[in-house]
Structure 1
Amino acid sequence: MLQVTVLREQTAHVIEGLNKKNYKNAAEEVAALLELDQQRRQLQSEHDELQGRANSIAKEIGVLMKNGEREKAEASKAETSELKQKTKSLAEQLSTVEDQIQQALYKLPNLPHESVPTGRTAEDNEVVLENGEIPKLFDGAQPHWELIQKYDIIDFELGNKISGAGFPVYKGKGARLQRALINFFLDEAIAAGYMEIQPPILVNEASGFGTGQLPDKEGQMYHATEDNLYLIPTAEVPITNIYRDMILPVAQLPVMNTGHTPCFRREAGSWGADVRGLNRLHQFDKVEIVQITLPEKSYEALEQMSLHIQGLLQKLELPYRVLRLCGGDMGFTSALTYDMEVYSTAQGRWLEVSSASNFETYQANRLKLRYKNESGKTQLLHTLNGSALALPRIVAAILENNQTPDGIDMPKVLHSYLGFDRIS
């Protein structure tokens, strides 16, 4: 969540950033919010002034009574009572305006970092680097949705029977491949200094607001209405919310956590060939990495996270590229996002498998996640997270890129995790 002081003191910068994210009516909404802020400050000033007068008169009443000036004391009591009514009314008005400001701030996305390219769609994203050679497949090579049927390792029809479309059942070597990837990703994260967390996969409303999924992505989340709990779209939500309402000692920074969870996304409105098979699911597994850092360290941390994710792709021997997302293609809460995509030779296109983002103070402001600087002043921390990695499209790329006429070779780094080196 943006800070009102930033809107007030850097108005032109805020409007420019919102425009870069293609946020509609940026100037008008910022102006309306600043007007509410002016009302709030005026009401606060009037409230404090009346409260001060009431407190001052209350002190005088005791002196008047002690001196036997009962009539003046009674008049002062009446004045104090009137002032209390006025301060109560002002407090109610102040609460209403503060709530309006809060709701208006929830609607504004984070401001993009200066390095974010201008653009509206994925076509405007900047390719930072490409790595690895795209394999040449034999004639008759198949996309993963054909391969999983051929080798009977993932069953979409069975998942549809049990739950519905987008909930596959992994079987035999397909299930073992899932488990192997999860363990490999977790082991790599732990070796890189991340502490493993196993969080709940249902979160309350406060957690959704804390990391910015609410109210922006409310329609994309599965909602258990009777208990008002949400199934998580990513482990970022519960892991980051561990530190909600905390002041962290500088000596404990950076916080580095990793966790594996299933993830749930309604993906309302998704359809077409681009979401076929494993390309887009309602439930999938993902290993997440999360960092909480000092502000001056956060972009260094983002680069480290990007390199960690790239290292996983290199060990899996998958050709990949790194994109810096443009303003229009970035997430609501992000200041800078790198997407990592692997190339699917059988589909002939790039598949996004990870996003690594720096949220700067946006989430921390919602979470009230802070530290004390050298002068003892409380400051907001920076939060970051990345997929390391999401499984479905990684599985799709492994199956497609490593297929032979006789079977599918598994990446060498997974052999010890799998207990086999080929699906046939």
Structure 2
Amino acid sequence: MTRPLRVAIVGAGPAGVYAADILTKSETPVEIDLLDRMPAPYGLIRYGVAPDHPRIKGIVSALHRVLDKPEICFLGHVDYGVDLKLDDLRRHYDAVVFATGADQDRQLDVPGVDLPHSHGAAEFVQWYDGYPEAPREWTLDGEQVAVIGAGNVALDVARVLAKQADDLLRTEIPDNVYRGLKDSRVTDVHLFARRGPAQAKFTPLELRELDHQPGVELVVHPEGFELDAASEESIRTNNQVKTVVKTLQDWALRDPRYDTPRRLHLHFLRAPVEILGSERVEGLRTEVMELTGDGGVRGTGEHETWPVQQVYRAVGYLSSPLAELPFDHGTGTIPHEGGRVLDLDGEPIPGVYTTGWVKRGPVGLIGHTKGDALETITNLLADAEALPRAEEPTSDAVLRLLDERGVAYTTWEGWGRLDAHEKALGEAQGRERVKVVPREEMVRISRGG
């Protein structure tokens, strides 16, 4: 090929940025347009991670260095399937990589799940992270709340619910989120895990964060704190499991004081079976589970009722289907082979690829998407000579098309303006940053309006 390989990556979160980074480090000359439906980059890092997460700054700095490369052009506020369709992308690029992540809640199939004040974790996360399409207001009028799940998202949700609002002022939370948390009546947050402590999906760093919150007592309830043969094997062979279980054991041995304004309770071997209430959530019914010795659990038939007024379901994320692409609704992923997107007959669609959570499901940490991207980009580069050539491969062609369609797209330079604006808002309040929430305001600032 006498010109650079033109690649569009749909999704400017970690998965998309890692894919772009690998492309730029290859021996193949490339030009990459990184498209995102949000006016700002970073995806999950900006809109899916708790604002007090200790590693956000480091990850953002790494992603920023990639997006600053001359081979990469960021185009925000561009909605795939609406502003640009698959035929548009294939006309302007030699290859397209879909890295759109997972932003929907996996459903929990129990009675009462649709009651008012029963929420998916993604809804709450998007609210406290200032996602433009999330509600601006959030009611925290119950003293007792339940969080269902045993992963890092469940920990984030539980920690934010229990935290004092003033302790989040050092973060970039929007003003409306601060006000909502300041008005919270929550005194007790109960996290329920269906399996035992050795089967929890917490990572040690995220778990330890729970025990460093002023005014919050962490209580690990010994009921359900059980280990079986499979648990012992996991502890012996997996250092992460060993650290998590040891941390939980140390906490479980402490005598509860119940002398703080708020408490965060961890309950193991408790499976939700029904959310109770008529007009709104009034309670949660759980079944006591027992370990089966092989890593599984089974119900005992014994039930408990918890008088909670809100329930947060953190049982996993799902990706959304994408226009003109096949989608496996069972797994919530795009069918693929090594990142090559497959059609309904199981054949690769020339020039169309996927990476990240929409490729493999929402499992693993952010860093795991690097290996995922490497597989996809390795196969894309192997296919490079055989790819169908773009009809309009010039760097300005897509911009002209977006202008013709009246799309108010944002750029990397525009993100610099928005970034500086948010930092200035924060400086005025003695904070590092205050996040701008409304989409139209983000676009206006980014475009210099």
TM-score (norm 1): 0.21
Structure with the largest fraction of helix? 1
Tell which has more relative contact order, 1 or 2 (C-alpha 8 A, sep 6+): 2
| Structure whose alpha-carbon radius of gyration is higher | 1
